[in-house]
Amino acid sequence: MIPRSRCTAMDADDALQALRDQFALPAGVIYLDGNSLGARPKNALDRARQVVEAEWGDDLIRSWNKAGWFDLPARLGAKLAPLIGASADEVVVTDSTSVNLFKALAAALRQQEEMRPQENRRTIVTERANFPTDVYIAQGLASWLDRGYEIRLVDSHDELPQVIDEKTAVVMLTHVNYRTGRMHDMAGVTALAHSRGALMLWDLAHSAGAVPVDLNGADADFAVGCTYKYLNGGPGAPAFIWVPARHQAAFRQPLSGWWSHASPFTMQPRFEPIEGIRRALCGTQPITSLALVECGLDIFMQTSMEAIRAKSLALTDLFIELVETRCSRHPLELVTPREHAQRGSQVSFAHPHGYAVMQALIERGVIGDYREPHIMRFGFTPLYTSFTDVWDAVETLADILDRKQYDPDARRDAVT
């Protein structure tokens, strides 16, 4: 078995270890849930105070100009862009992932109809195992449009080549699955969709800040994603939407609020979309929350996604190896792919008492989370997770399992 001393040596060699100090992590906690809610950058507190006290309190309405509030969605989008292989003028940080999905999917369906009006493409292909909101948004939009759109749910990645066909309007997939941590081949699936005439919409909720993403390199059509997970933007922080330069002129989304108007302060009665990525906006943003997104992004600016990926794979490899050696007597089943090319930055293990075991872990300061059915999720965030954390977390898991220190009848909280 790998000794703990080897992990402390790996930490000493780790160039990212220095960034951990920029996060406020409570003592006694090993945080393996940055895939659900990223840890707080220390300077988020000062930034929040500045926004509330100085920008709102002292400068009041003048801050829309003076503090750059009005431009914040585009300015933060430009900062986020390099993390996902986008150009600076192709991303805005705004609204929620669910709302951005609605806008992007609606725009994609419309663009498809305009490009190929004769083809009557009416299916939206996605996965049954996709995060529910993605499927619900597609179902809601399709039924609301009432134009014959159908959702085609595939059960495995292998089905995509059969299912994507000449009736497919849009393929809408989440790059890294929230439950299994399995990652799609973005360039490969995008090329497949394009070869059948379909548009490709990616959800990067578990990718942005977790794995290198190259949207333009993959020639993708649209993308959305979260900032409160791996990007450490804060609870409920606004999400992002990407529309590549080549699609911006044709891009029309149904939430045509005044922030996407060509001249919002002329107060015209007629809607006319602004040029460029701002046409993906809708209305006034939650500035206090939006401003904090920058604190997380500023930490990413100090390293590269390649360095983050290298450490992420080393952390997840180590975790898998330690669990499989240290807990081999227990009915744990690895759900996440072993192949690096198919793995995001989380590891999931199924256990018949997964919920109860996770509750016991959390009580002992090892915070992961639980997803049906039976799945314990562990997220690995290279900016603030150390190799020693991994070793200690597995030691705690082994102890809980060896001594059956969990309550199989544990009552479920509303949020698991």
Ligand X SMILES: *Cc1c(COP(=O)(O)O)cnc(C)c1O
In the complex, the residues that contact ligand X under the rule CB under 6 A are: 96-98, 131, 133-134, 174, 178, 203, 205-206, 226, 239
Q: Which of 79, 103, 182, 229 is catalytic?
A: 229
Minimum CB separation of residue 209 from ligand X in Å reads 13
Q: Which of 178, 228, 349, 378 is catalytic?
A: 228
Query: Can 229 be counted among the known catalytic residues?
Result: yes
Query: Can 66 be counted among the known catalytic residues?
Result: no
Question: For the purposes of burial, counting CB atoms within 10 Å of the CB of 62, is it exposed (0-12), middle (13-18) or buried (19 or more)?
Answer: exposed
Residue (43 or 97) nearer to ligand X, CB: 97
Q: Which of 95, 203, 221, 369 is catalytic?
A: 203
* Helix locations, 81-131, DSSP H: 97-115
CA–CA gap between residue 45 and residue 42 (Å, rounded): 6
Residue (69 or 102) nearer to ligand X, CB: 102
Minimum CB separation of residue 402 from ligand X in Å reads 33
Nearest-CA neighbor of 323 among 394, 387, 405?
A: 394
Helix, coil or strand: residue 256? coil
Residue (353 or 371) nearer to ligand X, CB: 371
Minimum CB separation of residue 203 from ligand X in Å reads 5
Nearest-CA neighbor of 370 among 351, 355, 352?
A: 355
Minimum CB separation of residue 387 from ligand X in Å reads 26
Residue (94 or 174) nearer to ligand X, CB: 174
Residue (41 or 181) nearer to ligand X, CB: 181
Query: Can 251 be counted among the known catalytic residues?
Result: no
Strand ranges across the sheet with 199-203: 91-93, 240-242, 222-225, 199-203, 168-174, 123-127, 150-154
Query: Can 404 be counted among the known catalytic residues?
Result: no
Minimum CB separation of residue 130 from ligand X in Å reads 7
Query: Can 203 be counted among the known catalytic residues?
Result: yes
Residue (205 or 231) nearer to ligand X, CB: 205
CA–CA gap between residue 334 and residue 350 (Å, rounded): 7
CB–CB of 406/330 below 8 Å? no
Residue 195: CB partners within 8 Å, gap ≥ 6? none
Residue (137 or 401) nearer to ligand X, CB: 137
Minimum CB separation of residue 370 from ligand X in Å reads 15
Q: Which of 355, 377, 387, 389 is catalytic?
A: 377
User: Helix 354-363 vs helix 387-402: angle between axes, to the nearest 10 degrees?
Assistant: 120
Minimum CB separation of residue 72 from ligand X in Å reads 19
| CA 346 remoteness from chain centre | 12
Nearest-CA neighbor of 71 among 293, 300, 278, 241?
A: 278
Residue 139: CB partners within 8 Å, gap ≥ 6? 151
CB–CB of 208/240 below 8 Å? yes
Question: For the purposes of burial, counting CB atoms within 10 Å of the CB of 28, is it exposed (0-12), middle (13-18) or buried (19 or more)?
Answer: exposed
Beta-bridge partner residues of 377:
348, 369
Q: Which residues participate in catalysis according to the annotation? A: 131, 203, 228-229, 377
